[in-house]
Amino acid sequence: MNKRTVKQFIKSNIVLAVIVLIVFGYYMYKKPSIPRKTDEVTEYVSGNTERVYGDKRVFDYADELTDKEEEDLESYIHEVEKEIGNDIVIVTLNESLKEYAEDYCKRYNMEMVSPDKYVMLYADEFWEVNKFGFDEPQILDGTQNTGDGVILVDNLFREPETGRIYTWMGTTGQAELRYSSDEIDHALDVFYDNLDEDYKHGLMTFVTQVRFDLDTEIVDLAFKPFAIIVAGLVLLIFVLTHLKSKSGKVTTTANTYVSPGGAKFVVHEDRFLRKSVSKVYDPPSSSSSSGGGGHHTSGGGGSHGGGGHSR
């Protein structure tokens, strides 16, 4: 490849590079974050003294974990909570939630929901009734000002209507403001992708993903250097391509490299195998308040975000 060809290649791609930089910059500007309270504080201290279950964060009702695994997971969650200033709650079930959902909808005068939403109702009420939230319990006023944290509800029971296992990741308070629908989907993908090794490993990797998503310092370390590198490369390309003005005679035309028989294009067909993981229910907003991914208001009046998968 001669110098002229290289220069033409660079020029043809500079617009694409600039567009990528603009999109990336917009993403970084719009991406909300949870600020540290002060520069001196290295760990958050929870101010919530009203949690019904105290320091307990793992509720393994499905009995999928050994006592040691549950202890290890809970210890790791407490470590992460101090870094991110959000509660992390894990609930495993192995029971039909249909009757629970029917009762919930009757209590709050709601229309009956579909099976993929049973776990959402359960997660919302579990969070509210047990007064989770890092700084304080959630105040059920429809705002995202209280009850900071994330809950994962994994129900291993296959609901008869669909034969599927449903999982819900719920977000509240600062976590709701922080998480987009795509990020919730990704966190659930991480959980599902690591279940094959063992159940505890899947839950541990989920907690690690939440730590990465909600820890401002980790996000800054991961993205800021990359943004600087991209900006530097684009600037370098711009300088190289504009140091000299165009000179010389054009020796090629649009048809120079086209054979006499005309251009021929090969058509490639991609085939994809269907994966048995379904993404379910990104609920629409049921109030005028703004929110992150999956924003909705519970029957009890609490603001929540979230999203679900099934397998």
- Provide the percentage of residues in the chain whose pLDDT is more than 90: 60
Alpha-carbon distance of 76 to 268, in angstroms, equals 48
Q: Does the pTM of the predicted model rise above 0.85? A: no
Domains and CATH numbers, the chain: 46-215+280-310 (3.10.310.50)
Q: Which of 22-26, 81-85, 196-200 has the lowest mean pLDDT?
A: 22-26
Output the DSSP codes for 167-202: EEEEEETHHHHH--HHHHHHHHHHHHHTTTT-HHHH
pLDDT band at 43 (very low <50, low <70, confident <90, very high): confident
Structure tokens at 105: 């909808």
pLDDT band at 8 (very low <50, low <70, confident <90, very high): low
Separation in Å, CA 175 to CA 43, 250, 271, 311? 17, 58, 38, 25
Average pLDDT, the chain: 79
pLDDT at 250 over 70: no
Mean pLDDT, residues 235-254:
53
Distance CA 89, CA 135 (A): 15
pLDDT given for residue 11 in this prediction: 60
Reply yes or no on whether the pLDDT at 294 is more than 50: yes
Structure-model confidence comparison of residues 221 and 192, the more confident one? 192
CB 170 within 8 A of CB 128: no
Task: Give the largest CA-CA distance in the chain.
Answer: 81
Q: Is the pLDDT of residue 97 over 60?
A: yes
- How far apart (Å, rounded) are the C-alpha atoms in residues 186 and 202? 13
Cα end-to-end span (Å), the chain: 50
What average pLDDT score do residues 221-233 get?
52
Closest CA to 198 of 58, 73, 74, 56: 73
pLDDT of residue 35 exceeding 60, the answer is no
Q: Is residue 289 predicted with pLDDT exceeding 50? A: no
Residue 247: per-residue pLDDT: 47
Q: What is the reported pLDDT for 30?
A: 42
Asked if the model's pLDDT at residue 141 lies above 70, the reply is: yes
Higher confidence at residue 2 or residue 213? Answer: 213
